Amino acid sequence: MEDYDSQFNTYLELIEGRLKEVTTNKEPSNLYEPVTYIVLDGGKRIRPLLCLLACEACGGSYYEAIDAAVAIELLHNFTLVHDDIMDNSPLRRGKPTIHTKWDIPTAILSGDVMVGIALDLLSYYSNYTTYGKFISQLTYGYIEVCEGQALDMLFNSIDEVSEEDYYLMIKKKTAAVIQTSLVIGGLCAGAIESNLNTLREFGLNLGLAFQLQDDLLDLYGTDVRLGKKKGNDILEKKKTLLVLLAKKYASNEKEVELINKLFSSDAIVDSDIPKYDALFKKYNIYEKVRAEVTRFSNQALSTLGHLPKNKGTKMLEYLVNKLNVRTF
C-alpha cells in the first residue's frame, strides 16, 4: 500500500512554502500582517490539495497547479475573514479573528487584498489556451460563495427554512469553492471537458458531505482541534440540517419552544447547548445527518470511476475517506 499520508505532507509543504512567498515581506505591514496571521496559521488546506490531486488525476504534474492551488486557498481565506465579521465570531482556528485582534476595516481590507493576490497568481496561467476558463471558474466560485453567505444571513431573519433551502445554501457556500479547486486543477492539466464535468460532480458531492460533517462537528468535535467553541452554530442560530430535522420531529411543547428560539429574536445562551444536544440525540438526528454524509461521500467516490485510474484519483479516493471520518 502506498504511503499517501507522506505524499500529502509533501504537497502540504509546497503549498505552505508558496503561501509564505506570496504573503510575507510586503508593505504596508498593517495590511499584510493580518493576512499572514490567518493564512500561515493552520487550516486543513483541503481546497489546494484537491487542486493538485485533480491536476494529477487528469494526467498533469502537480507542480503545474501550485500557484492555482494557492490562489484558491487565498480565496477561501478571504471568505473566512469576511464571514467572521458578519457572524461576529471571536475565534478562528483557536485564535482571535482578525476583526477582533485588529478592527473591522483592517479585516475587510485584508480579505480584499487576498482576492487580489489570488487573481495575480492565476494570471501566471495567461498563456494557457484555456485561461478564460480559469477566470470563469474562479469567478463562479467567488460569486457562488457570496450568494451562499447571503442566503445563510437571510435564514437568520425568516421564519421558514426548508431542507431544500439549506442544501442550496451549502451548495453555494461550501461546494462551489471545492468544485472550483478541482476544475481549475483539471484545467492546469489540460483536461478534456468530460473530465472537467466529472470533477464538478465529484466536487459537488464532496462539498455537501464536507459541510454536513462540519455541522456535526459543531457539537461532536473537540474545542481544541476545532479551534472554536462547541455549539457555536447553535449560539449563532445557524439553520443547519440538524436544526431543520429537529424542528420536523419535535413532538411536545417544550421541544417546539426550544426549536422556535432558533427562529426568533430570543437569545441563545451557553446553558441551552446541552438541551439541543439532548433533543438531537432523542430523535437520532446525529445519525440521520451522518447517513447523509456517507451518502454524499459514496456518490463522490462513485463519480471518481469516470476519471483515469492513476495516483491522483487514488489519492482523491483516500482523501474522501479521511474526510468522512474526521473529528475536526
Average pLDDT over residues 54-83: 97
Q: 229 or 203: whose pLDDT is higher?
A: 203
pLDDT score for 269:
93
Cell of 23: 504573503
Lowest mean pLDDT among 15-24, 83-92, 309-318: 83-92
Cα(181)–Cα(178) distance, integer angstroms: 5
Nearest to 327 by CA among 64, 72, 91, 44: 44
Give how far Cα 29 sits from Cα of 33, 65, 86, Å.
Answer: 5, 29, 24
CATH number for the domain harbouring residue 29 = 1.10.600.10
Write down the pTM of the prediction.
0.95
Cα(212)–Cα(294) distance, integer angstroms: 10
pLDDT score for 311:
94
C-beta of residue 213 within 8 angstroms of C-beta of residue 326:
yes
Nearest to 152 by CA among 205, 102, 214, 92: 214
3-state secondary structure 167-196: HHHHHHHHHHHHHHHHHHHHHHCCCCHHHH
Residue 159: which pLDDT band, with cuts at 50, 70 and 90? Answer: confident
Average pLDDT over residues 163-171: 98
Helix (H, G, I), strand (E, B) or coil at 96: strand
Q: Is the pLDDT of residue 139 over 80?
A: yes
Nearest to 231 by CA among 267, 260, 273: 273
pLDDT score for 121:
98
Please indicate, yes or no, if residue 115 is contained in any of the structural domains.
Answer: yes
Please indicate, yes or no, if residue 27 is contained in any of the structural domains.
Answer: yes
Give how far Cα 215 sits from Cα of 76, 194, 293, Å.
Answer: 18, 32, 10
Q: Is the pLDDT of residue 271 over 50?
A: yes
Please indicate, yes or no, if residue 132 is contained in any of the structural domains.
Answer: yes
Please indicate, yes or no, if residue 327 is contained in any of the structural domains.
Answer: no
Chain center to CA of 128: 28
ω into residue 28 within 30 of 0, thus cis? yes
pLDDT score for 327:
75
Alpha carbon dihedral 75, 76, 77, 82, in 10-degree steps, equals 90
pLDDT score for 224:
46
Please indicate, yes or no, if residue 172 is contained in any of the structural domains.
Answer: yes
C-beta of residue 179 within 8 angstroms of C-beta of residue 252:
no
Q: What is the overall mean pLDDT for the chain?
A: 94
Cα(57)–Cα(70) distance, integer angstroms: 18
C-beta of residue 133 within 8 angstroms of C-beta of residue 187:
yes
Lowest mean pLDDT among 45-54, 61-70, 145-154, 215-224: 215-224
Q: What is the β-pairing status of strands 91-92 and 95-96?
A: antiparallel
pLDDT score for 325:
82
Residue 103: which pLDDT band, with cuts at 50, 70 and 90? Answer: very high
Please indicate, yes or no, if residue 328 is contained in any of the structural domains.
Answer: no
pLDDT score for 1:
45
Report the number of distinct structural domains present in the chain: 1
Question: The domain containing residue 201 runs over which residues?
Answer: 4-322
Q: Is the pLDDT of residue 8 over 80?
A: yes
Please indicate, yes or no, if residue 63 is contained in any of the structural domains.
Answer: yes
Q: Per-residue pLDDT tens for 282-323?
A: 999 999 999 999 999 999 999 999 999 999 999 999 999 999
Please indicate, yes or no, if residue 293 is contained in any of the structural domains.
Answer: yes
Cα(53)–Cα(186) distance, integer angstroms: 9
Residue with cell string 485564535: 95
User: What is the helix (H) or strand (E) element at residue 275, kind and residue range?
Assistant: helix 273-282
Q: Per-residue pLDDT tens for 212-230?
A: 999 999 887 655 455 567 8
Q: Is the pLDDT of residue 171 over 70?
A: yes
Q: Per-residue pLDDT tens for 121-136?
A: 999 999 999 999 999 9
